[in-house]
Amino acid sequence: MTVMRLGRVELRVLDLEKSVEYYTNVIGLEETGRTQDRVYLKAWDEYDHHSLILKKADSAGLEHFAFKVRNETDLSYFEKKVEQFGLTTSRVSKNTRLAEGQAVRFILPTGHQVELYYEIGYLGTAVGTLNPHPWPMNAKGIAPHRLDHVLLTGDDLKSVTRFFMEVLGFNQSEKITTVGGEELLGSFLFATNKAHDLAFVKGPDAKLHHAAFFVDSIHDVFKAADLLTMNEVPIEVTPTRHGISRGETIYFFDPSGNRNEAFANGYITYPDFPTITWTEDKIGQGIFYHRRELLESFMKALT
Ligand SMILES: O=C/C=C/C=C(\O)C(=O)O
Ligand SMILES: [Fe+2]
């Protein structure tokens, strides 16, 4: 048994209005609701009420992220398994946040807050489910299809990998190790048939490296770069390819300094996908396939 998908990410932002303006006009998400300190958004190809929550805060970063499961039976099943692994769970009650049902909440060995849920409001999409057009005519900005993955940093990558594989049914598509293989430096995990739904690299606990949104092609990644320049958004890495996942990518920053990625393609996986290994000496190529070396900011800028 496995979770269905990464359903939502809640980011802490410094200036709510500036952030909404960026996530709606530049990224091209749709605002679907707001309360005093939170704004809820979704990508055009997502059916549920929201996949991104912006929360006003004094520091940037990841407030929580959550996986959607099928129903209450699965939620209770995973709740028990999380407890058996040794993590403490609590239930978040319905409507704690807008349009959300009950959730099971716990803290990962890397210090990140995670929730599992199955109930959330349904909005559908502008193209609908009856004889739909391929994309909405009012699409704005980068206009990703959906939230794709988050990459987090933490110290105990072995335990957090074991947790996702043993408890939530994930598989590992790729890992980064020291040359001799004795230490785990990166772990890429999937619950769907994507290259990854979640990944960790070695670093300080409880930090966000980036949140990624899915676009179709390298052309969309290139167009994202144009849009970012038109909007004077800081770009960290211009369009290139990942060795890891084979995806096409661009990295940039939201107004609070949270790193975003527009990610295209990447291979697909099945439950029998063998884990690909990148050794530390080839990590430059693994992450930036053309440049073949890491950027200092890429390892240091975390929120
Ligand atoms: O150390 C960072 C590795 C990043 C890889 C990706 O962001 C990816 O494959 O989406
Ligand atoms: Fe990524």
Terminal CA-CA length for the chain? 32
Closest-CA residue to 34 (of 19, 46, 303): 19
Which residue ranges does the chain devote to CATH 3.10.180.10? 3-117, 146-299
Q: What is the mean pLDDT of residues 280-296?
A: 97
Q: How far is the CA of 223 from the centre of ligand 1 (A)?
A: 20
**Which of 123, 111, 102 has the alpha carbon at shortest distance from 44?**
123
CA distances from 95 to 35, 67, 98, 99, 121 (A): 12, 17, 6, 6, 10
Assigned architecture for domain 3-117: Roll (3.10)
pLDDT score for 220: 98
Q: Can you give the pLDDT at residue 55?
A: 98
Closest CA to 160 of 209, 192, 198, 216: 198
Over residues 111-124, the pLDDT tens digits come to: 999 999 999 999 99
pLDDT of residue 291: 97
pLDDT band at 58 (very low <50, low <70, confident <90, very high): very high
In angstroms, rounded to a whole number, what is the distance separating the alpha carbons of residues 198 and 191? Answer: 9
Q: Which two tokens stand for residue 241?
A: 């390819």
Using CA atoms, how far residue 184 sits from 159, 160, 161, 291, 300, in Å, is: 10, 11, 10, 23, 19
Give backbone dihedrals phi and psi of 140, rounded to 5 degrees, phi first.
-125, 150
**In the structure, what pLDDT confidence band is assigned to residue 177 with cuts at 50, 70 and 90?**
very high
Atom 5 of ligand 1, residue of closest alpha carbon: 287
Q: Of all protein residues, whose CA lies closest to atom 4 belonging to ligand 1?
A: 287
Q: Which ligand 1 atom is at minimum distance from the Cα of 294?
A: 1
CATH superfamily label, 146-299: 2,3-Dihydroxybiphenyl 1,2-Dioxygenase, domain 1 (3.10.180.10)
Cα–ligand 2 centroid distance for 154 (angstroms): 16
The strand pair at 5-13 and 52-56 is best described as parallel
Residue whose Cα lies nearest atom 7 of ligand 1: it is 151
pLDDT at 142: 98
Q: What global pTM score does this model have? A: 0.97
The beta strand positions in the chain, using DSSP E, are 5-13, 30-34, 38-42, 52-56, 61-68, 90-92, 103-107, 113-117, 146-154, 171-177, 184-190, 198-202, 207-215, 235-241, 247-253, 259-265, 276-279
Ligand 1, CB within 6 Å, residue ranges: 151, 186, 201, 212, 242, 244-245, 247, 261, 263, 287
> How confident is the model at residue 222, as a pLDDT?
98
> What ipTM does this complex have?
0.96
Give the active site residues.
149, 196, 210, 242, 251, 261
Q: How far is the CA of 287 from the centre of ligand 1 (A)?
A: 6
Atom of ligand 1 nearest to the CA of 176: 1
Nearest one of 233, 231, 153 to 187, comparing CA atoms: 153
pLDDT at 120: 98
CA gap 99, 40 in Å, rounded: 10
pLDDT of 125-145, one tens digit each? 999 999 999 999 999 999 999
Q: Which of 225, 224, 212, 230 is nearest to 266 (CA)?
A: 212
Question: In this structure, are strands 184-190 and 259-265 parallel, antiparallel, or unpaired?
Answer: unpaired
CA-closest residue to ligand 1 atom 1: 201
Strand-pairing partners, residue 294, are: none
Cα 144 to chain centroid, rounded: 13
Provide the pLDDT for residue 40.
Answer: 98
Give me ligand 1 centre to Cα 204, in Å: 16
Q: b vs e for 61-92, b when ≥16 Cβ sit within 10 Å of the residue's Cβ?
A: bbbbbbbbbeeeebbeebbebbeeeeeebeeb
pLDDT number for residue 171: 98
pLDDT given at position 141: 98
Residue in 209, 287, 296 to alter for ligand 1 test, most ligand atoms within 8 A of Cβ? 287
Residue 235 CA to ligand 2 centre (angstroms):
15
The minimum-distance atom of ligand 1 relative to the CA of 263 is 10
